[in-house]
């Protein structure tokens, strides 16, 4: 497939060791040769593929040397885009990168659109759409678990499962087509009972499992929101600092120090978590503090898990009044246990006994590791996560799986009720269309553009 030649900076801008200019298209090597002067005396025409060459970037007009670089040429189709690709590895200073890119563009290349290199890899058949989506997931992965999910996807994990279902549907469609073309031999060509069993075992069950893995694994892909709430001055900000291992939130002995919420990411045993510190819950006439409390309630509604903190040195019945409104997965965090003898811990109110309890001291960090373990357990319990099979479809893919499942169920119902092969075939075709769209074999251009617009320039 022929496209124009595009180029972009493929590494983040800023000072660093190495920056990369990526060029893809039929003019990639010619443009590179015009500005690259190799340090070796041997003349290559063309440069051999997949070998690095040391040299300098030279402005052809002024003759000025701009940077000392490495250059590698990758001949089509053995490249990321399946086109001719050249990469120039410069020093990662903004001036070096931009001036080199300017030279490349001045020789006829076009600045690449966001995600255009990966889009070309998809359009040229190197990867399917589910693998292309996994590229952005790898770029955005902040924990080992989310990286494993994306890596399984880019390795073709979802594609293999989809192709297995598609093959079974194609076989069924072939039998239905034969029954439609030769109705007098329908009983021989199409056996309803066998077809129904295959639909259940080879298509319905795998689709249901993939949908289940999306629902169960959403927090692995997207992360979780853990909100810390409670009465003023119970130690919420101190707990946040403990979990982050740095002083992110202001801590003072005066109630009401936190007027607004703070959010910080946290790697929690491989889970991507967002910890949210909130303003203390209490009745107040202060209009600014009241706004903060309203935001606290908003964050609690958005939470996947609530850490409700109480101060063991203060009367429990006063703090108890703030919790009954919360219908969220909750852990009761009893703080400041270092100030009270264990035999003098107050009785947990019966309304709270449905919540797991963790006793901590945010000051001494006693119990903080136990709390992290309890958070992980509370989030993952009953989820059935299987690390050996980390295929977690994204929302777009899940909606298409739902569509394929619905069509497959309709086909099964049609077979069970003895409907005509033509009607059953329509449902099978609908299921195939949905699965094809997951892999990008049939997809609207506007949806394709929306997917690749999420990418950065250079990827």
184 versus 24: which is more confidently predicted? 24
Residue 234 has pLDDT above 90, yes or no: no
Which comes out higher in pLDDT, residue 440 or 181?
Answer: 440
- pLDDT average, residue stretch 35-44: 85
Entry field: residues in the chain: 459
Q: What domains are defined for the chain?
A: 6-126 (3.30.1360.120), 136-219+394-440 (1.20.120.430), 223-380 (3.40.50.300)
Confidence of residue 322 (pLDDT cuts 50, 70, 90): low
**H or E element at residue 262:** strand 262-268
Considering the entire predicted model, what is its pTM?
A: 0.73
Percent of the chain past pLDDT 90, that is, above it, reads 32
How would you class 4 by CB atoms within 10 Å of its CB: exposed for 0-12, middle for 13-18, buried for 19 or more?
exposed
Q: What is the mean pLDDT of residues 308-319?
A: 73
Strand 262-268 with 110-111, pairing: unpaired
DSSP 113: P
pLDDT of residue 354: 79
> Cα separation of 72 and 87, whole Å?
5
> Which region among 138-147, 251-260, 373-382 has the lowest average model confidence (pLDDT)?
251-260
Q: Which two tokens stand for residue 387?
A: 């690390």
The pLDDT assigned to 228 comes to 85
Tokens of 129: 């759409």
Give kind and range of the element (H or E) at residue 66. strand 65-74
Residue 346 banded pLDDT, cuts 50, 70, 90: low
Backbone torsions φ then ψ of 2, nearest 5 degrees: -95, 130
Q: pLDDT tens digits for 60-112?
A: 999 999 999 999 999 999 999 999 999 999 998 889 999 999 999 999 999 99
What gap in Å lies between CA 140 and CA 247, rounded to an integer? 25
Of the two residues 31 and 215, the one the predictor is more confident about is 31
pLDDT at 334: 87
Query: What separation in angstroms does the CA of 304 have from each of 222, 386, 425?
Result: 12, 20, 42
How confident is the model over 350-369, as pLDDT tens digits? Answer: 777 778 888 888 888 888 89
């Amino acid at each position: 497939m022929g496209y124009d030649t595009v180029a972009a900076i493929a590494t983040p801008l800023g000072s660093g060791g190495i920056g990369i200019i990526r060029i893809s298209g039929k003019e990639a090597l010619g443009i590179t040769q015009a500005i690259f002067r190799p340090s070796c005396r041997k003349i290559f025409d063309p440069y051999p593929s997949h070998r690095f060459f040391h040299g300098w970037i030279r402005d052809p007009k002024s003759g000025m040397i701009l940077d000392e670089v490495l250059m590698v040429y990758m001949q089509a189709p053995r490249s990321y885009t399946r086109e001719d690709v050249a990469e120039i590895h410069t020093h990662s200073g903004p001036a070096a990168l931009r001036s080199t890119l300017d030279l490349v563009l001045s020789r006829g290349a076009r600045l690449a659109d966001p995600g255009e290199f990966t889009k070309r890899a998809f359009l040229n058949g190197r990867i399917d759409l589910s693998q292309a989506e996994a590229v952005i997931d790898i770029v955005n992965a902040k924990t080992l678990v989310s990286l494993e999910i994306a890596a399984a996807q880019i390795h073709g994990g979802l594609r293999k499962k989809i192709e297995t279902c598609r093959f079974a549907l194609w076989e069924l469609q072939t039998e239905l087509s034969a029954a439609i073309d030769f109705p007098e031999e329908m009983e021989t060509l199409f056996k309803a009972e066998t077809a129904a069993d295959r639909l259940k075992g080879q298509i319905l069950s795998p689709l249901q499992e993939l949908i289940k893995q999306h629902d169960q694994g959403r927090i692995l892909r997207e992360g979780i929101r853990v909100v810390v709430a409670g009465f003023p001055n119970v130690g919420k900000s101190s707990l946040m600092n403990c979990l982050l291992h740095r002083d992110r939130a202001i801590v003072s002995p005066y109630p009401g120090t936190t007027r607004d919420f703070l959010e910080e990411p946290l790697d929690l045993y491989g889970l991507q978590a967002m910890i949210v510190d909130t303003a203390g819950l209490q009745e107040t006439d202060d209009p600014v503090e009241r706004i903060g409390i309203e935001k606290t309630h908003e964050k609690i509604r958005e939470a996947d898990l609530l850490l409700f903190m109480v101060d063991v040195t203060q009367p429990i019945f006063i703090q108890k009044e703030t919790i009954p409104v919360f219908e969220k997965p909750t852990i009761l965090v009893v703080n400041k246990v270092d100030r009270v003898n264990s035999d003098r811990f107050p009785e947990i109110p019966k309304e709270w006994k449905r919540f797991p309890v963790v006793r901590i001291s945010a000051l001494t960090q006693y119990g903080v590791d136990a709390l992290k373990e309890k958070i992980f357990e509370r989030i993952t319990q009953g989820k059935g996560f299987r690390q050996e099979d980390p295929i977690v479809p994204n929302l777009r893919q899940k909606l298409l799986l739902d569509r394929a499942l619905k069509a497959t169920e309709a086909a099964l119902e049609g077979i069970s009720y003895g409907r005509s092969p033509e009607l059953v075939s329509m449902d099978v075709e609908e299921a195939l269309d949905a699965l094809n769209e997951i892999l990008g074999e049939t997809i609207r251009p506007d949806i394709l553009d929306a997917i690749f617009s999420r990418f950065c320039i250079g990827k």
